[in-house]
Amino acid sequence: MAVGRQGRFGEALALARRAAHLAAGSPAAGSLPLQPKLFLGFALFDCDLVADARAAYRDALDDSFGSGWWLADTLMADAQACFVIGEWEDAVPRLVAAGEAAQEKNHQLLLSQSLGLRIVIATATGDLPTATALSDRVAASLEGDDMSYNAGLLAFATAGTKVAVAGDLPGAYDLLLRSWQYDAACGNRFYHRWVAPDLVRVALALDHRAVAADVADTVAAGVALAPDVLSVRILALRCRGLVDNAVPPMMEAVSLARGLPLLLEHEGQAAGE
């Protein structure tokens, strides 16, 4: 997980596969504090291998050891997989169920993750009252300098609602920039795929070109850390195309996106660029 948060997604997957293999061969697997199949699913998902990730999540749910504590995490992971491939009718009840399981465990981070994805869905489908109400529930975690661990997702979600409800570009920019800076201070690249395109787009709209260029340079550097992950390459191309107002990188990003099952990525190419 630590390696993945640094943007080294391929390395993280290799480690997760080794951990799952070692756990499978261990006579003491039932006493392990973590669920290796779940963490393998996380790493697969981060490498755009969504179908393989969902299979790992199902294995984790079927595995009796640790299932009580890790149930909410596993439900949330599979709900997010539904979300990114565009199966939102299935994603919403799964997100609600995962949120309820997280609340029972007082797992506030996971609960906010569920709320963040539901905010995006509500905003995108035009249910702005619901999006606003859900945004209000996560607002406190985005205040001040000490933001929550998943601030990138929450900032992406609530910034979109700010723009959709009131056309509040400055408010969206402030939220996205602060979450970006918070993650930069922590060395966390994990949420770049959520935050960077909107931050670049809003920064350019407000004539903060230096910020947009810096974001584009940062995500371009991330390609070297995960050269085989298409969504990381697509991210760099999108941001560079926006900053340079250039068609070729955008077209290349569209071409690469066609090879992925990530419907949200396809929509980003069409709506934003």
Condensed to tens digits (0 to 9), the pLDDT of residues 99-123 reads 999 998 899 999 999 999 999 999 9
In a domain, 133, yes or no: no
In a domain, 139, yes or no: no
Alpha-carbon distance values, 199 to 28, 46, 149, 256 (Å): 47, 21, 18, 22
Pairwise CA distance, residues 146 & 94, whole Å: 29
Condensed to tens digits (0 to 9), the pLDDT of residues 17-42 reads 999 999 888 776 556 667 889 999 99
Q: Give how far the C-alpha of residue 204 lies from the chain's centroid of Cα atoms, to the nearest Å.
A: 23
Condensed to tens digits (0 to 9), the pLDDT of residues 229-253 reads 999 999 999 999 999 999 999 999 9
Pairwise CA distance, residues 123 & 160, whole Å: 7
The predicted model scores a pTM of 0.92
The pLDDT assigned to 11 comes to 98
Alpha helices in 125-246 (DSSP H): 128-138, 151-166, 169-186, 192-205, 209-223, 230-244
In a domain, 86, yes or no: yes
In a domain, 165, yes or no: no
- Does residue 263 or residue 195 have the better pLDDT? 195
In a domain, 70, yes or no: yes
In a domain, 67, yes or no: yes
* Residues of the domain holding 99: 1-106
Which of 194, 189, 261 minimizes the C-alpha distance to 218? 189
Residue 25's CATH number: 1.25.40.10
In a domain, 234, yes or no: no
Amino acid at 39: F
Number of domains in the chain: 1
Residues contacting 208, CB < 8 A, separation 6+: 173
In a domain, 87, yes or no: yes
